[in-house]
Structure 1
Amino acid sequence: MAVASKAAGRAPADTSLIAVTKTFAAADIAPLIAAGHRHFGENRVQEAAAKWPALRAATPGLTLHLIGQLQSNKADQAVALFDVIHSVDRPSLITALARAMARAGRQLPVLLQVNIGAEEQKGGCAIADTPALLAAAREAGLDVTGLMAVPPADREPAPYFALLAKMARELGLPQLSMGMSGDFETAIQQGSTMVRVGSALFGARQ
């Protein structure tokens, strides 16, 4: 990450490392916490609920990011468990999260997920719909800080990262959640402020 930042003329501190711990047990995660790492990401609310309350009780100051798709009926649980939500992609979820945050008395920062490659099988709002979704989120009182995307797996990611960065600039959003184990260096070069890395830290998933 530091090498990629230097090559792009950016400060290493400008990009946070989110350690993606989906499918890994608390025993696998504990060494990273002991080493001082504080930002972690999970894909599923149910899995996070099974392991993170105990980990957080043992080590205050951890920040937990929800990076996977969120069902509207799990909004209350997500707001209670997580500190940042990266995957807001539709009006119904905006409504559910706004109500959940009001009930919990918590205002979590959120990012809008963009289907940057227009892939039918992926979540995220369409590129053309992103300004309207941002307006709806702000009207509902959500604190939208940036955009998130996953580029198509079989294509060069740089153009997709560049497009997301351009969208964020035009929308006045400072955060960019983009880049994973195989392409985080490219993402940093294109302006990512948060990379979501799992297998490069923990090894291959089962």
Structure 2
Amino acid sequence: MAETPLSRVRERIARAARRAGRDPAQVTLVAVSKTRSAEEILPLLEEGHRDFGENRVAEAQEKWPALKAQYPDVRLHMVGQLQSNKAAEAAEIFDVIHSLDRESLLKALVKAVEDGGRAPDCYVQVNIGAEDQKGGVAIAELESFLARVRETPLPLAGLMAMPPQGLEASPFFALTEELARRHGLDGLSMGMSNDYESAVMLGSSLVRVGTALFGPRD
């Protein structure tokens, strides 16, 4: 069988997991399909892949209903920052939200559920590098925010983190894993195209990969 970008990434994930003494089946690969057309996505669907990530609600609403009609077992992941006023729409189309990072968004998602909407799995985004320009809960405020999430009907899946660009990612992955363990969480959404193998070796249960699967954007 010919090697494909998807098979290459899967093999690299499996190799990294085995190096760390982990079962590769513990790691979910999310193909980040933001800005990619249905024609670009279809080959991965035909190859059997089912987890995809988008970062805009409107783009997902436009692109995915027709694809999900063909492949109803697709799981859609919201991997971008989510505006509170889009929470109800996001909950309807996304199965997993990776960027729960503030009180206003938490309240909006809870209201969507209370109004009869779906309750997507939620990862709390941690501002692991303490960057002013990046979303995420400050480490010092994480414990109290997680406590509030646990009081709601939203399923708490784990933590999500994005290390600062230009710095070695491994220490930030290790810190995120330590925070998850400290707070009794199993799920870790961390690792992208340039560092997903390191993330897997340091405990990530879900990696978000775009360029390595789809190639660079034109």
Q: What TM-score, normalized to structure 1?
A: 0.98
Structure-1 residue corresponding to 2:86: 74
Report the count of equivalent residues: 206
SS at match of 2:208: strand
Q: How does 1:55-94 map to 2 (within 5 A)?
A: 55-94=67-106
**CA distance in structure 1 between the aligned counterparts of 2:25 and 2:155, rounded to whole angstroms:** 23
1:18 corresponds to which of 23, 30, 53: 30
**Equivalent pair of 2:34/2:55 in contact (CA under 8 Å):** yes
Q: Is the 8 A contact 1:95 1:140 kept in 2?
A: no
Match of 1:46 among 48, 58, 66: 58
Q: Give the letter for the 1:120 counterpart.
A: D
8 Å Cα contact 1:79/1:104 also seen in 2: no
1:107: Cα distance to partner? 2.1
What is the aligned counterpart of 2:138 among 126, 134, 138?
126
Unaligned runs of 5+ in 2: 1-12
1:181 aligns with 2:193: yes
Instruction: Quote the Cα distance in structure 2 between the aligned partners of 1:72 and 1:172.
Output: 27
Q: In structure 2, how many angstroms separate the alpha carbons of the residues matched to 1:141 and 1:69?
A: 21
Amino acid at match of 2:58: Q
Shift of 1:120: 1.1
CA shift digits 1:120-149 (9 cap, x unpaired): 111111111111111111223221110001
Unaligned runs of 5+ in 1: none
1:75–1:100 contact (8 Å) kept in structure 2? yes
Partner of 1:202: 214
CA distance in 2, matches of 1:175, 1:108: 14
Q: What is the distance in 1 between the residues matched to 2:15 and 2:44?
A: 21
Give the CA deviation at 1:105: 3.7
User: CA RMSD, aligned part only?
Assistant: 0.9
